[in-house]
Each structure stands twice: as C-alpha cells, then as structure tokens.
C-alpha cells in the first residue's frame, strides 16, 4: 500500500461529497431512459450508458455480459365484477402473467400469509385469489411470488394482488423466475381502494368476476449485465462483488428501486477507480438487469460464472441504497459477517445497524446460494418502512422526486469507505458450506417458500441446471 487507508478515505469521501455525478446519472437513467425494464429500448440504452460511464471512470474489463431469459411485454388488463353488482375495476397485469381470460368467485385471503392459504386450501380450487401486499406482524413480508405460487399450487384460476397502501396505485411485481419460466394463471394488480371496494361487496354476498390479460410471453429473450473491475494487488485473483440492479418496473421510473442503488455503485466505482492496484483484493462492480423479473440478471450471471464463485470473498448488494440517508446492512450469512461489518462501521465512524435478515428476493441471493458471504446495503426511515412495506416501490409513483439527493451521496460514501477497508483485509469472513445453507433453508421454511415460488435449487449447483 502506497498511501495509508485514512488519507485514501479522506480523498475518496471528498470526491463523492463535492460532486453530483450520482444524481446526474440518476436523472439520465430515469428521465431519459424511462423504466429500463427488461426488453425495452431504455434497457439497451442504459446498458450502453453504464458501460460508457464505467470506462470513463477508468474501470477495467468493462463489458456487457449477455444471457437469455423468458421475456414479457405488458398488454391491457381487465377486471370485471358480475355479482353482487356489475362494475369494471381498474387493474394492471403482473409481469410474467400469461395472456388469458378466467371467471370465478373471488376468495379473500387477506395479506396472503401461507398459513391462511393452508387453512383455506379446500376452498381455493377454481376461484380467483385476492390478497394484498400488507406485511405481517413485526413487518415480516411474505413475498408476492409465494402467494401466487400457493394460488397456482392450490388450483386457483386467477390472482388479484392488491396494494395495501392508499393512493389509487396498483402495485406490480413478477410472478415467477424469468430465468426459468412464465406464470401459469392470469394475474392482475389493483390499488388499495379497489381491494377495499371488492371486500365491501363481499359483505353483501358472493363476488364473482372475470380477469382478462393480453400480455406477451417472449421465450429466449436476451439481456445484459454490465460489469467493470478495479484490480487489486496481492490478492488480485480474489474479489469483492458490488452489485445493484439498474432495471425498474415498466409502469414506473424505478428511481428508488433501484436506479438509486445502481448510481451509488457507479459512484463508489468512480471514486475508487484511481486506486487500482492499491487494495489487496479486486473489486468487481456489477449492474444487473431483469432483477424485477424474479432476480433473473444476477442468477444468470452466477450460472455463467459458477467456477469463479469460490474466488468471491464477499458480495454487497445495493438494492435500496441511496434513496434516503441513513444506511443499514442486512447480512444473509454467515452470521459472523455481522461482526466484521460492525467493526468496520466503528472504524469509519458511521453509526449504522447491522443485522441478519434472510431475504431471497434480490441480487445477493444467487451468490449466497454459492456460499459467498453476502450483505445488503439499504436505506430508509425505519419506522415508516415497517408500516409501508415497499411504500411507493413497484408503483407508478416510484419517480426521481422520491430520491433524496443527500442519500445518494451518503450511500456512495459509506459503500466506498467499507470497500476500502474490506478489500484490504487478509480475511473477510468464513464461508458457509452448501450443506449448512441447505439445512438452514430447510429449517427456517425458506426452502419450502422457494419451492412454491419455483425458485428452488440445491445450494452449490447451477440455478439453471434444475
């Protein structure tokens, strides 16, 4: 090391604080390219733009890494009530919904907790399932794909997913992992106000409806993850992967989810690039596509680079970083990584919560399944996040104006400081074995949820070989 860590930190922090490059990138991604949803023109422009930025910043091995997946294009959707009154209700298709038309009685399963599905299993066959995105007690969220999966498994004909936050905002979200398949039954998203209307009608008696979707499924679509590297010195062959998805949902700008995270990653890369050959480990920056189609970009990346995974000492996922000030780390595993990150947070003087949370629905997951220690850098005002769940996320209101410019700078700053310290450590964390991961997932019920989602594969094997 030529310079001491502290003076590098000071230089990097100053570089990020006095520049607005991250915010400028956010405006280009959101205002110029739109949603960047998989399969759109905006996605292709974002890939070219991000590669250009990483090259300009001085990163090495900058490339667009291609893969194929099951694409989907939105068509019009219709939700018509027949009984107890006739009414057309506003609805949008959920990504990977097949085109189709189904009729039946609506069954209300509340927030769609698996326990509720199991309790009412005998009633579900042939019906249209209605459930919301409301978190359970203590903010515990059951993923939409789990609710859809139970619906399909129990013989439902259709699926209606309601936002639990008011504002006439239907929530969107994918139904299946697009690296494998599309959905089986038509599914639509509706606003909280529409859910409320439907459940009021249930107090009058049986509610029957027709769900009609006209979407397009496009097997063998191609997309690209954007990659760039800052080589290390003595541990040059070992990596820290830093990632965020740059795609958003097609109905929105995907500004908070997750253009802001992608801009945080690019900004940390910019500030660190001139220190190539300085830190022990190499840093690999990955901007993933198609995360919003069931964590598809990162899963395909891991499948394509499976033999490199034993050289990745840490994966930091920035889904949700930079949209607000105040950042937290959520460690998927191993639990010892919490201590490492807490120690670094002390050293750099940034007070933050570091906790263990097993969340399967973002880009750290395929790395975790290959025994890579993983942590997610996220930002939110905590009490609000517990109440709101995704808040404006996954709705048309996820726009640039929701992102705190200060949060972008803070996210990049914290990330860069952590990377400087972590890249230079002799050892970051122990790795969990495939068996340990498998046992943990079975014991906690996560494996069962992933099976229902059709997202399950054995830890340590390729996610595409199942």
Binding site for Zn ion (CB under 5 A): 257-258, 319
Q: How far is the CB of 97 from Zn ion (least distance, A)?
A: 20
Q: How far is the CB of 292 from Zn ion (least distance, A)?
A: 7
Closest C-alpha to 319, from 297, 340, 301, 304: 297
- Three-state secondary structure call for residue 326: coil
CA distances from 385 to 131, 164, 170 (A): 20, 13, 19
The dihedral sign for the CA sequence 135, 393, 196, 79: negative
Closest C-alpha to 336, from 385, 282, 374: 374
Q: How far is the CB of 30 from Zn ion (least distance, A)?
A: 14
109 vs 361 by CB, closer to Zn ion:
361
Closest C-alpha to 244, from 54, 441, 432: 54
- Three-state secondary structure call for residue 460: coil
Q: How far is the CB of 353 from Zn ion (least distance, A)?
A: 20
50 vs 152 by CB, closer to Zn ion:
50
256 vs 422 by CB, closer to Zn ion:
256
Length of the chain: 466
Q: How far is the CB of 268 from Zn ion (least distance, A)?
A: 18
9 vs 257 by CB, closer to Zn ion:
257
| Cα diameter, the chain | 76
Q: How far is the CB of 245 from Zn ion (least distance, A)?
A: 6
78 vs 144 by CB, closer to Zn ion:
144
Tokens of 74: 């939105």
317 vs 429 by CB, closer to Zn ion:
317
Compute the half-sphere exposure of residue 383: CA atoms within 13 Å on the CB side of its CA. 0
By the 8 A CB rule, do 156 and 175 touch? no
108 vs 398 by CB, closer to Zn ion:
398
Query: What does the alpha-carbon distance between residue 356 and residue 342 come to, in Å, rounded to a whole number?
Result: 12
Query: What does the alpha-carbon distance between residue 185 and residue 262 come to, in Å, rounded to a whole number?
Result: 33
Q: How far is the CB of 444 from Zn ion (least distance, A)?
A: 22
């Amino acid at each position: 090391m030529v310079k001491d860590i502290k003076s590098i930190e000071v230089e990097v922090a100053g570089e990020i604080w006095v520049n607005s490059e991250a915010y400028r990138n956010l405006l280009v991604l959101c205002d110029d390219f739109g949603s960047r949803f998989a399969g759109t023109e905006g996605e292709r422009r974002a890939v070219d733009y991000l590669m250009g930025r990483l090259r300009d910043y001085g990163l090495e091995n900058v490339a667009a890494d291609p893969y194929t997946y099951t694409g989907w294009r939105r068509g019009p959707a219709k939700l018509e009530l027949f009984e107890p009154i006739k009414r057309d209700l506003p609805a949008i298709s959920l990504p990977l919904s097949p085109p189709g038309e189904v009729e039946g009685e609506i069954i209300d399963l509340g927030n769609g907790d698996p326990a509720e599905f199991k309790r009412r299993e005998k009633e579900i066959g042939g019906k249209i399932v209605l459930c919301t995105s409301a978190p359970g007690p203590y903010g515990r969220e059951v993923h939409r794909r789990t609710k859809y999966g139970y619906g399909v498994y129990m013989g439902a004909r259709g699926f209606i997913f309601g936002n639990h936050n008011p504002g006439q905002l239907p929530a969107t979200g994918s139904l299946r992992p697009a690296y494998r398949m599309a959905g089986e039954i038509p599914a639509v998203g509706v606003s909280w106000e529409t859910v409320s209307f439907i459940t009021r009608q249930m107090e009058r008696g049986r509610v029957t409806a027709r769900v009609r979707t006209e979407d397009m499924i496009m097997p063998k679509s191609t997309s690209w993850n954007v990659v760039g590297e800052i080589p290390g010195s003595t541990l040059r062959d070992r990596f820290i992967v830093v990632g965020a998805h740059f795609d958003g949902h097609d109905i929105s700008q995907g500004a908070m989810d997750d253009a802001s995270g992608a801009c945080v990653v690019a900004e940390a890369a910019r500030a660190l690039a001139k220190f190539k050959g300085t830190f022990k480990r190499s840093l690999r920056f990955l901007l993933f596509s198609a995360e919003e189609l069931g964590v598809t970009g990162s899963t395909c990346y891991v499948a394509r680079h499976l033999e490199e995974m034993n050289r990745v000492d840490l994966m930091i996922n920035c889904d949700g970083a930079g949209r607000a000030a105040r950042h937290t780390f959520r460690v998927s595993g191993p639990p010892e990584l919490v201590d490492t990150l807490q120690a670094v947070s002390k050293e750099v003087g940034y007070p933050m919560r570091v906790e263990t949370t097993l969340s399967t629905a973002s880009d750290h997951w395929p790395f975790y399944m290959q025994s890579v220690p993983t942590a997610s850098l996220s930002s939110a005002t905590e009490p609000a996040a517990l109440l709101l769940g995704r808040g404006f996320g996954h709705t048309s209101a996820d726009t640039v104006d929701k992102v705190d410019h200060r949060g972008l700078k803070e996210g990049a700053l914290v990330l860069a400081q952590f990377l400087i310290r972590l890249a230079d450590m002799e050892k970051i964390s122990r790795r969990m074995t495939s068996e340990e991961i498998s046992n943990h997932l079975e014991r906690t019920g996560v494996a069962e949820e992933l099976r229902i989602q059709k997202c399950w594969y054995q830890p340590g094997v390729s996610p595409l070989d199942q």
